Amino acid sequence: MNRWVAVVVVGGLSLLAVGILLPAVVQMRLTSDRVRCQDHLRDLASFGMWHATLPGQPLTPQPKRELPPGTVPNPNLPIAERLSWYVLLLPALEGNRLVSKQLGNVPDASVAWDAPANRKWSHTRLSVALCPGAVPDMPKETPALSSYIANAGIGVEIGSADLPATGKIPPEFGPMRANQPTPIDAILDGTSATILLAETTRERGPWIQGGISTLRGLNPEEIPYLGLNRPYAGSHLGGGNFAFVDGSVRFLSQAITPSILRAMLTIAGQEDFDLERP
C-alpha cells in the first residue's frame, strides 16, 4: 500500500512540475521567436536598405541618403514580374553573400523573377526574409516565400505611384514605391516615426518577386489592421514587429488605434500622434 502511495505522490509531483515548467518553456520559445524576428527586420532595415545596390555591383562605402526602389528597375517588365527590393539588399547581407557564392551567380534582372535563369534563386530560402515564429510551408518545388513586406503607404495601388517632381508629396505616400528610390529628405514625418517594413501572414509571396508579394499599400477599410489573416502581423501573440526607416524595430499591439498606424505608414501626412499610445 505504501508503495502505491509513493507512486501516486511521485506521479503527482511530476505532473505538477510539468504543469509549472511547460508554460515557461512555451513562453521562452514565443519570446525567442519574437526577438529573432526583430533581428531579421533590423538586418534588413538598418543595414541592407541603406547599402542597397544592383546585383553584381560593389557595396557603397557610405550609407545612401535614399531608400531603394521596391523593385529592381526594368521598364521592359511589369512590376509583378520584376525582381524585388530583396535582391538589392543581397550584397549587403553577410548570410546572403554566402548564398550568392554557393549558387555561383547573381539574380538576372533582365528577365522575370520566375524565368529559368532565376530558378535557383527563386527556390532558395532566405532566412532573413522569414519570421521564425511562423515559417510558411514551402514545398521543395515551389518558390521560397517571405514574411516581410515593404510599406508603400495608404491605398492598394499606391506602390506604383511615383513621387511628384515638384510640389507637395501626397499624404497617402509611404517610404517605398515600385519604380523609383525615395530620398530620405522626402520623409517629412521623420525616419523614427515612419514604418518601412512589416511582417505579415496574409498571402505571403516569393521574396524575389516584385509587386504585392513584397511591396504593399494598406487598404484603410480593413480594420483591424493587425492579427492573423489581417494586413499585418499574425506571427506573434498580441501584435507584430515593424521596422522603421531609421532602422529601429518595434512591437506594435494589435489594439493600436487605426489612425495612429495609418499615420506611421505615410511619409508626409504631418499627422500629430503619440507613439506611446497602443
pLDDT band for position 22 (50/70/90)? Answer: very low
Reported as a single tens digit per residue, the pLDDT across 36-77 is 999 999 999 987 888 888 877 887 778 889 999 999 999 999
Domain presence at residue 36: no
Distance CA 27, CA 34 (A): 11
Give how many domains the chain has, as a whole number: 1
Distance CA 153, CA 241 (A): 17
Distance CA 195, CA 174 (A): 8
- Asked whether residue 150 carries a pLDDT value surpassing 50, the answer given is yes
- Asked whether residue 168 carries a pLDDT value surpassing 80, the answer given is yes
- Asked whether residue 163 carries a pLDDT value surpassing 90, the answer given is yes
SS3 252: strand
Over the range 84-112, which residues count as b (16 or more CB within 10 Å of their CB) and which as e?
bbbbbbbbbbeebeebbeeeeebbbbebb
pLDDT at 270: 77
Q: Which helix (H) or strand (E) element contains residue 159?
A: none
Cell 506611446 belongs to residue: 276
pLDDT at 140: 79
Domain presence at residue 37: no
Cell 510539468 belongs to residue: 18
In terms of Cα–Cα distance, which of 90, 110, 107, 108 is closest to 98?
Answer: 90
- By the 8 A CB rule, do 184 and 247 touch? no
Residue 191 DSSP code: G
Over the range 70-82, which residues count as b (16 or more CB within 10 Å of their CB) and which as e?
bbbbbeebebbbb
How many residues does the structure list for the chain? Answer: 278
Domain presence at residue 246: yes
Domain presence at residue 34: no
In terms of Cα–Cα distance, which of 39, 150, 134 is closest to 85?
Answer: 150
**Domain range for residue 156?**
54-265
- The stretches of the chain forming alpha helices (DSSP H) are 2-42, 85-89, 94-103, 119-122, 258-265
- pLDDT, averaged across the chain: 87
Identify the sign of the CA torsion 12, 18, 23, 24: positive
Domain presence at residue 278: no
Distance CA 58, CA 88 (A): 11
Burial of 4 per CB tally in 10 Å (0-12, 13-18, 19+): exposed
pTM of this structure: 0.86
Domain presence at residue 22: no
Report the percent of the chain where pLDDT is more than 70.
82
Distance CA 18, CA 35 (A): 25
DSSP lists the bridge partners of residue 241 as: 251
pLDDT band for position 3 (50/70/90)? Answer: low
- The stretches of 77-146 forming alpha helices (DSSP H) are 85-89, 94-103, 119-122
Cis (ω within 30 of 0) for the bond into 224? yes
Reported as a single tens digit per residue, the pLDDT across 240-262 is 999 999 999 999 999 999 999 99
pLDDT band for position 96 (50/70/90)? Answer: low
